[in-house]
Structure 1
Amino acid sequence: MQQFDLPQAKLIYDSDFLNSEFANSVFEELYNETNWIQEPIKIFGKEMMQPRLTNLFGKKSYSYSNIVMKPNPLPEVLLQLEEKIEEAADSKFNVCLANLYRDGRDSMGWHSDDEKELGKNPIIASVSLGGERMFHLQHKTKKELKQKFVLAHGSLLIMAGETQHYWKHQLPKTKKQVSPRINLTFRQILD
């Protein structure tokens, strides 16, 4: 487990959070049995399809970038995973946003998970499954403060404290040949 020493952030990364057998089975089940959707999103006033597929599991709706996602019940495999993640993050979660990155053309641009319904200092617990991808962080005002690292299959990244106030993150496109990747971000949506 690695804790990053970044100002105004609390980041914990465990590259071996899940054993490969369990990580493989979670990936296969979600990849094959999830009703993945692709929704339009507005970027700089222009509507386009999101460059990834998504689904929401849990007990609450979730909104971001003018998209309102309605939750599906957590499948058994995610219930098992949620229990393990809640223990590692020392936090409770009520939704899991699942993203499927089909190849290197799928991505997530610079953003912070700072929606009002996540509260003041949200804890975001992110599990990576499948193909490894590069993850970037950058301070919002001190642009020279940057961090990047590879998100491994079966890894867990916890972003907590003031991270979402002061930092933004992205999963950039890549021209490298990469396998499909599923990212599961567990969050607590407030009432």
Structure 2
Amino acid sequence: MDLFLHDSGLLRLVDDAESGVRYWPRAVDAQTAETWFDALRRGARWQTQARPMYDRIVAVPRLLAAYRVDALPADLPLAAMLALVQRLAPAPYTGAGLNLYRDGQDSVAMHRDTLRTLASGQPLALVSLGAPRRMLLRAQQDGAKSIAVDLAPGSVLVMSHASQLTHLHGIPKTTRPVGPRISVVFRVRAPAALDEDREDAP
């Protein structure tokens, strides 16, 4: 594990054969990040979702939206965000999954992305906007300690496909007063799963 901050601003959190987990705390300037956040909060097609858990149906604790890369709306900044991600982690991304965390009670449990829906060997790239939130990253082995990363507005975090086999990630609830946050996750979907950009990443 290498937590060295490189001259480019890159922080490498996990190493593996596919570039691991990498984090750019200042991928875009604060004004651009704020402009993108405002546009997405106002204009994205936010939806609530529910899913079965044990013997009942529970609400997903955040709002969701999804867009295909070949049909990004012109009135949202997703194309500019995709161009930023392509500079840092080039890949044939097919979709953008958006998450709106309204307050500290919105969260995503520790998990890995659903591997059957992802193209093998391709990364996931996550752009964070709005208030910072803490992400936990933990190896899937007994006794492993979590790495905590406060995802800053305008930051980009990239996870390799291989890291989904070895690590879990999540955004825990917090009692601290926090403002709303939006994450935009660009993925390369497997051909049979191009419509499944929903809720896998933080």
Change (3 A) 1:79 1:107: same
Please give the alpha-carbon distance, in whole angstroms, between the structure 1 residues aligned to 2:82 and 2:16. 29
Query: Which residue of 2 is the match for residue 148 of structure 1?
Result: 148
Normalized per residue, which structure has more strand? 1
- Unmatched segments (≥5 aa) in structure 2: 1-9, 192-202
Query: Which residue of 1 is the match for residue 13 of structure 2?
Result: 4
Query: Which residue of 2 is the match for residue 36 of structure 1?
Result: 46
User: What is the deviation of 1:59?
Assistant: 4.7
- Report Cα offsets for 1:91-131 as digits up to 9, x if no partner: 12110000000000000011111331202334110010001
User: Contact conserved, 1:114 with 1:122, CA < 8 A, in 2?
Assistant: no
TM-score under structure 1 length normalisation: 0.87
- Unmatched segments (≥5 aa) in structure 1: 61-71
Please give the alpha-carbon distance, in whole angstroms, between the structure 1 residues aligned to 2:166 and 2:150. 21
Give matches, 1:1-191, under 5 Å. 1-6=10-15, 10-59=20-69, 73-75=72-74, 76-191=76-191
User: What is the deviation of 1:87?
Assistant: 1.6
Question: Identity, % of aligned pairs?
Answer: 25
CA root-mean-square deviation: 1.9
SS of the equivalent of 1:22 reads helix
Please give the alpha-carbon distance, in whole angstroms, between the structure 1 residues aligned to 2:130 and 2:136. 18
SS of the equivalent of 2:87 reads helix
Q: Which moved more, 1:95-104 or 1:51-60?
A: 51-60
SS of the equivalent of 1:85 reads helix
Count residues with an aligned counterpart: 180
Please give the alpha-carbon distance, in whole angstroms, between the structure 1 residues aligned to 2:130 and 2:149. 16
Q: Which moved more, 1:142-151 or 1:109-118?
A: 142-151
